[in-house]
């Protein structure tokens, strides 16, 4: 009988130790709160139904990578409030977006258990219809840059460069290419173009009124 009790005790201790080691090997979780408000950049009015996306990433104890995502939306006052549980020490990044709006082209980093974020999105309510025409046939390629002051400001000086195709745009004589670009309105869009990628010699600007499409033609 003594031997049976001893065997039972040994098995019980082994099971307890196994559970302890298993528990120690698991990742620890903690609760993170993310609160804030999303505003329209031009008017500072609240922006409803803006999408909040939070990504969490970490390295597991076994060396593998872990990741998960959390989602939310702003209410009619532009506010959002998310609370979620994730691995302690995870890298947390937040993105804010809404169709028809543009914001910072990178994530907001989060830190600590309680975060408050103020974000701004700008309406893309001005449009530029750019048409390029090869009239002379002297050149068959063209480089074009478009710069929005608003996007340059919210991008920490990065600015905004866009083009209908991968550089350069190839056009044969008497052929043309047209594309419409969306920008924040009520400002001047700066253009530069030419036949060299490094130093386009021609430049200009055009004012984009709200909720309208303005035409700009480059003939070369």
Give the start-to-end residue ranges of the domains of the chain: 28-123, 126-219
- The count of other CB atoms within 10 Å of the CB of residue 66 is 14
What's the chain's average pLDDT?
A: 82
Q: In which region does residue 25 sit, left (phi positive, over 0), alpha (psi from -120 to 50) or beta (all else)?
A: alpha
CB atoms near residue 123 (< 10 Å): 20
What is the percent of the chain with per-residue pLDDT over 70, rounded to a whole number? Answer: 80
- In this structure, of 48-57, 136-145, 148-157, 176-185, the range with the lowest mean pLDDT score is 148-157
**What is the pTM assigned to this prediction?**
0.72
- Average pLDDT score over residue span 128-145: 90
CATH number, domain 126-219? 2.60.40
How far apart are the C-alpha atoms of 132 and 169, rounded to whole Å? 9
CATH for 28-123 (2.60.40.10, 3.40.1160.10, 3.80.10.10, 3.40.50.620): 2.60.40.10
Sheet strand arrangement including 169-170: 169-170, 141-147, 187-194, 202-208
The domains spanning 28-123 and 126-219 adopt the same CATH topology = yes
Q: How far apart are CA 78 and CA 46, in angstroms?
A: 4
């Amino acid at each position: 009988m003594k031997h049976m009790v001893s065997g039972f005790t040994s098995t019980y201790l082994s099971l307890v130790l196994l559970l302890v080691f298993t528990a120690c090997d698991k990742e620890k979780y903690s609760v993170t709160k993310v609160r804030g408000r999303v505003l329209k950049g031009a008017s500072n009015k609240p922006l409803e139904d803006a999408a909040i996306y939070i990504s969490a990433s970490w390295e597991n104890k076994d060396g593998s990578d872990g990741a998960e995502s959390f989602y939310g939306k702003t209410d009619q006052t532009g506010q959002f409030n998310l609370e979620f549980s994730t691995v302690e020490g995870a890298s947390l990044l937040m993105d804010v977006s809404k169709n028809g709006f543009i914001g910072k082209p990178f994530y907001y980093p989060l830190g600590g258990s309680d975060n408050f974020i103020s974000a701004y999105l700008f309406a893309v309510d001005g449009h530029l219809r750019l048409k390029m025409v090869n009239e002379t046939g002297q050149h068959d390629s063209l480089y074009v840059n478009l710069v929005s002051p608003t996007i340059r400001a919210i991008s920490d000086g990065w600015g905004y460069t866009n083009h209908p195709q991968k550089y350069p745009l190839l056009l044969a004589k008497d052929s043309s290419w047209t594309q419409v670009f969306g920008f924040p309105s009520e400002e001047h869009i700066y253009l530069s173009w030419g036949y060299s990628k490094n130093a386009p010699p021609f430049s200009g600007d055009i004012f984009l009124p709200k909720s309208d499409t303005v035409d700009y033609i480059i003939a070369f």
